[in-house]
Structure 1
Amino acid sequence: MTKIKWIYLVVIIISVGAVLFFYNAFNGNPISKMTAQSTLKNHLESNYPDDEFVIQREFYNFKDGGYNFYVTQIGEEEQTEYEFILTGFFGSNIHSDGIYYANQDVKLISKLQKEASEEITNLLQEKVPEVLEVTPQLEVLKGKYPSDANWSKDFKAEKPMYIHITIDSRKFSKEDMLHASILIQRSLHESNYTYEHITINGNIIDENYEEVKGEPFWVVKYAVGFEHDTKLTLKDIEQYE
């Protein structure tokens, strides 16, 4: 084979490779699509064995490299479309289950989150008076608890709660933010609270913006996230200028 033919061959291989690369990046590939479909079908059969579903439409989400599926339940009058998002290696992870979220008891969750917020805020302000707001997130399925159920730290939600906490950090150094975060973690631990993850924002007032409805405009200066057993250090505190 002559040198020119070799050059042509290399150019063709590179061109085909580039086309396949960009096609896969924006459309996925048949193997990952089949894997995602199989994962979804197994998930539906395992979690909703008494119902039958059909996939109405699907598409590859090139932004996160996953697949979005929309399914309906056979025999359901309204034919609601439930969205499932599959991510991970070859679409093997159920990232979001539309049926699960459609069955959340929104009214009860709102009630419980308000009660939990009040309880946890009072607890934390004893050690960290700068705590401004505590926003817990709970997941409770319809029919599992009566509508007048009350919050307690022993309440069994579908999974441990996520908690977001806002602190007035106008007088805080980075070291102060670390100390406050450790106190919060310790207080929750000593009071036997169970949670999946906590994020804390240390906020300051931005004087460059006008007040909104009489309230100051807060911006994030520090941020930290941790689990139950995280050993916090100064490196965990993110600072924003």
Structure 2
Amino acid sequence: MIELKKKAIITGLSLLILVTGCYVYNAFYGNPFSRALAEQKLSAYLQEAHAGETLNMKGSSYNFKFAEYLFRVSDERNDEYIFSVKGGLHPAVTNDGIKEARQEKTRARISKEASNEIKRELEKKLKNVIDVQVSLSGSYDVNTNWKKLKQTEPIAVTVTLNSGRDGRRQVYDQAKVVKKLLSGYHYENIEIDSMGLDGEDRPGYVKYSVHVLKDRAIAIEDVEKTL
């Protein structure tokens, strides 16, 4: 009787260890069944979302933090992209690395178009414009251009000026010109970095910074000395 109890206890402990081990392994590494379902789902997704493209799955890993499988997919140029698939019995593709890369490229192109246009506008009144950077956060069709977006799309603008040895008052006047010239744009904010001269009389550091809001006039107190 005692021997049977011992065997039952040992068997129970063994099963508990086995179940716990499987649970821990599944939590950190996934399992072959869910991995196969995820791969099957991704394969079907690629055929539908990227029909006509030559794509190959090159490997996968499990992200235990987000409980998802990460697949490396290469195109005909052998560029690699990461796709995420989440879900056990009913997996779904949660991230398309190819679409993400194309969106990033499209945003960069539109941002450059906007930056160049705004820089030209500022240079009509200011002779010390060094650079203009426009940031976009939306998702756009690959054929979208800046001309279609400029009246409606919220943007964030960073303007870099060579203010040389100008003081706070001069930078304040320049900031007002920037705000006035960009009044027709749908910006969320404008950051103006006013560059001071280094030891060789070249713009070498941000001397003043100005944060400009669309619905508020600039005050001289907004011109902050950084050094």
Report the TM range for the smaller structure's normalisation.
0.5 to 0.7
- State the match for 1:103 in structure 2: 100
Encode CA deviations 1:19-59: one digit per residue, 9 max, x unaligned: xxxxxxxxxxxxxxxxxxxxxxxxxxxxxxxxxxxx942xx
CA change 1:109–1:234 in 2 (3 A) is same
Does residue 175 (structure 1) correspond to residue 169 (structure 2)? The answer is yes
What is residue 146 of structure 1 aligned with on the other side?
142
Partner Cα separation in structure 2 for residue 155 and residue 103 of structure 1: 22
* Aligned: 1:222 with 2:213: no
Q: How many positions carry a matched residue from both structures?
A: 148
Partners of 1:153 and 1:194 within 8 A in 2: no
* Aligned twin of 1:161: 155
Structure 2 residue runs of 5 or longer lacking an equivalent are 1-62, 73-81, 86-93
Give the Cα–Cα distance (whole angstroms) in 2 for the partners of residues 222 and 100 of structure 1: 41
Residue 119 of structure 1 is aligned with which of 117, 135, 149? Answer: 117
Gap change, CA 1:194 and 1:156, over 3 Å in 2: closer
* 2:191 counterpart letter in structure 1: T
| Change beyond 3 A, Cα 1:100–1:171 | farther
1:179 aligns to what SS in structure 2?
helix
Residues 171 and 77 from structure 1, CA distance in 2 versus in 1: closer, same or farther, beyond 3 angstroms? closer
Contact 2:155 2:187 in 1 (8 A): yes
CA drift of 1:146 comes to 2.9
Which residue identity lines up with residue 199 of structure 2 in the other structure?
A: E
CA contact (8 A) 1:137 1:161 kept: yes
Partner Cα distance (1:81, 1:108) in 2? 22
> Match for 1:231 among 202, 213, 217?
217
3-state DSSP of counterpart to 2:192: strand
Deviation at 1:196?
1.2
Within 2, Cα distance between the matches of 1:131 and 1:138?
21
Bigger CA radius of gyration: 2
Q: 1:217 to 1:72 in 2, by over 3 A?
A: farther
Q: Percent identity?
A: 22
Question: C-alpha displacement at 1:154, in angstroms?
Answer: 3.4
Change (3 A) 1:153 1:80: closer
The 8 Å contact of residues 134 and 163 in structure 1, kept in 2 or not, is answered as yes
